[in-house]
Amino acid sequence: MMLSTLELAIELISRPSITPHDAGCQSLIANHLQSIGFIVETLRFGEVDNLWVRHGQTEPLLVFAGHTDVVPPGLLKQWQFPPFTPTVHEGLLYGRGAADMKGSLAAMVVAGERFVQAYPDHPGSIGLLLTSDEEGVAINGTVKVIDYLQAKGDRITWCLVGEPSSVNRLGDTIKNGRRGSLNGHLIIQGVQGHVAYPHQADNPIHRFAPLLKTLCETQWDQGNEFFPPTGFQITHLNAGEKVDNVIPGELEVLFNFRYSTEVTHTQLQAVVTRLLEQYQLNSKLTWRHSGLPFLTPAGTLVEVTQQAILEVCSYQATLSTAGGTSDGRFIAPTGAQVIELGPLNATIHKVNECVRVEDLETLATIYQRIIEKLLR
């Protein structure tokens, strides 16, 4: 029996699938789709559950991608309603994952079911790729499923990721790319000592300060028509023992680059390394590259999605590459056209996360219209 978008969203939110746990969300979806002819493959890598579901065997292949895991709810006393007791109140559905991204998952499933029931012998194929490792370290999730699909010879033509892309109203923004993300972990060594005898110590915070000024003032690139200039942010500083009479002996710094296609992560690494040498810091630097930038320019998927939103919502969606990373970064390198379209993102990762109830059904309609335009 097919559930409504709201009913399925409620069922999914009620499962406390805090990353990397799936809590039965994927089996719920798999059962719905398997009953109408979708082929289901469960793929577990490490402690992460992944799901690959497909209807049809030929190309082109349209894939909906998303994640069943959610971030922790935070302080429960700050929630208006319990985060895993989905509650409809004044036209809003409250619960952890309502917007990011169980509402999208429900809309995807309902859109796929409706399309297959209306067009059981459709050309091409519809796929659904789900992971429970998007909000975490993203090691055993989508990236592993993509490796598996490529080894099988399955080639994705178009991919729609259900991340909450909308800003002011549903469908007003389509993400057609994302910036790259590069993380640095820097340890600067000094010499601990008494604050009254600074000549007997070497303060790593003072040593780092001129370099910090340079890093914050550097213009890494100019950006381009699709991406803003590359940004640098310090995310963590830690030194000392929280006392006022000891010069610390070590400073730990975490920082991040969100970078455009005008620069590579290796170029950014080279500049930082050169600056460390220039300022003669006794340091150790390690890097973690968490995603290449990607861009899907105007083409079939972008145009079809804009048409579907215009037909359903009566306004034009804008294209954007702003925001954080998504699992689209693992799919785009295969050559697929990748976009992101989902609910409003105003409450994601916050207490009282919610989505408009009417937006859930509208989103399912938009998704269905996209499928029809590509595969009917």
Single out the catalytic residue among 49, 113, 133, 134: 134
The pLDDT value recorded for residue 1 is 57
- Confirm whether 134 is a catalytic residue: yes
The helix (run of H) or strand (run of E) holding residue 365 is helix 357-375
Q: Tell me: the pLDDT tens digits for 256-282?
A: 999 999 999 999 999 999 999 999 999
| Residue 153 and residue 52 share a domain | yes
Structure tokens at 297: 């320019």
Supply the pLDDT for residue 39. 98
Q: What pairs with residue 184 in β-bridges?
A: 255, 287
> pLDDT confidence of 354, banded at 50, 70, 90?
very high
Q: Which of 11, 69, 113, 133 is catalytic?
A: 69
State whether 135 and 17 are in the same domain: yes
Query: What is the average pLDDT value for the chain, to the nearest integer?
Result: 96
The verdict on whether 133 is a catalytic residue reads: no
Cα–Cα distance measured from residue 356 to residue 363, given in angstroms and rounded to the nearest whole number: 11
Higher pLDDT, 373 or 292: 373
- Average pLDDT value for residue range 54-79: 97
Which distant-in-sequence residues (6+ apart) come within 8 Å of 262 by Cβ? 221, 222, 223, 224, 227, 229, 230
The pLDDT, as a whole number, for residue 324 is 82
Cite the annotated binding site for Zn(2+) by residue number. 67, 100, 135, 163, 349
Q: What is the pLDDT of residue 2?
A: 65
Each residue of 168-184: pLDDT tens digit? 999 999 999 999 999 99
Tell me: the pLDDT tens digits for 179-224? 999 999 999 999 999 999 999 999 999 999 999 999 999 999 999 9
| Same domain flag for 316 and 191 | no
Residue 148 has pLDDT above 90, yes or no: yes
In the chain, the number of structural domains is: 2
Domain end (from 225, 256, 291): 291
Range of the domain at 357: 5-178+293-375
User: CB-based contacts of 296: which residues, under 8 Å, 6+ apart?
Assistant: 176, 177, 302, 332, 337, 338, 339
Whole-model pTM: value is: 0.90
Domain boundary among 257, 291, 325: 291
Q: Average pLDDT for residues 156-169, to the nearest whole number? A: 98
158 and 186 co-located in one domain: no
* Whether 189 contacts 249, CB under 8 Å: yes
Whether 305 and 163 map to the same domain: the answer is yes
Cα separation, 131 vs 47, in Å, equals 11
In whole angstroms, give the CA distance from residue 361 to residue 374: 20
Cβ atoms of residues 345 and 165 within 8 Å:
yes
Whether 73 and 220 map to the same domain: the answer is no
Which residues fall in the annotated binding site?
67, 100, 135, 163, 349
pLDDT digits (tens, 9 = 90+) for 295-353: 998 899 999 999 999 999 999 999 999 888 899 999 999 999 999 999 999 999 999 99
- For 169, the 3-state DSSP assignment is coil
Based on the fold, state whether residues 38 and 157 are members of the same structural domain: yes
